[in-house]
Amino acid sequence: MQPDAIAVVTGGSLGIGAAITRALLGRGYTVIVGCRSPERARGLGAGRLEVEKLDVSDVGSVRAFAARIAARHSRIDVLVNNAGASFQELRRNAAGLELTFATNVQGDYAVTDALRPLLRNADGRGRVVHVGSAAQYLLPLQTSALLSATGPYIHGAIYAHTKRAQYELSEAMAERLDADGITSTCAHPGLVATPGVAEAFPTWSRVAGRVLPSPEEGADTAVWLATAPEIAGSTGGFWWRRTRQPADVVPWTRARRGERSRLWDACQHLCR
């Protein structure tokens, strides 16, 4: 790590995001937390902490966030796309997109795209880490269904579909950002005792909450992917407990030919 290394963590004020933030601060990074509640992030600990307001589901908010960072820093070394959401009922952002997709998928693309010039300036050391989920194993990617969000709203299925899309987007980034010296990986934290899990899956949280891993345990793989010298330059993959995992466990979740590119093109169009 460079002595002046800089990391950006979205959704870094609570749960796994807060644990990632504290771990990076403890390693000497300047950490820029982007979140909807900046006041909550300011008490995360000593060190070089900067806090900015950010709503990843709003492209305008993302652009303003990136511009404020670029006004102070000429590069960033690490981006952790941690911000995520799941909603019990259908919600949409100001542009009309289903809000789980707008947060978990479009948000990841928008933040990475906006910060790409600063990651490129890390001289071949730029890393993007997406905080994913094993829920991706449940469904294949269908970009048109994510964009239309019609039919019955089943929040668990919507969440799983967005996590499949997030992984496929990370793989697309691994291919497309490689020439800029930027890696992209996806980290599964496991089902962790966090406020987000309690809100999104209340029944499961009540039943299993006492035995779930801590946010610090859930953050470990993402922090390792963001910082470990032994994997410098390694790109792509779905990782859990510092080990690369299969992308699929059943054949019918494998993406159809061209589907990953369709997702990329859709995200690119939505950011215009």
Residues identified as active-site: 159
List CB contacts of 76: < 8 A, sequence separation 6 or more. 6, 7, 8, 32, 69, 115, 118, 119, 121, 122, 126
Nearest to 13 by CA among 48, 53, 61: 53
Q: How far is CA 207 from CA 14, 83, 135, 235, in A?
A: 22, 25, 19, 37
Helix axes 15-26, 215-227, angle to 10 degrees: 50
Beta bridge partners of 131: 187
**Cβ contact 92:123 at 8 Å:** no
- Counting every residue written for the chain, the total comes to 272
Structure tokens at 84: 């995520």
Residue 168 and residue 176: Cα distance in Å, rounded?
Answer: 12
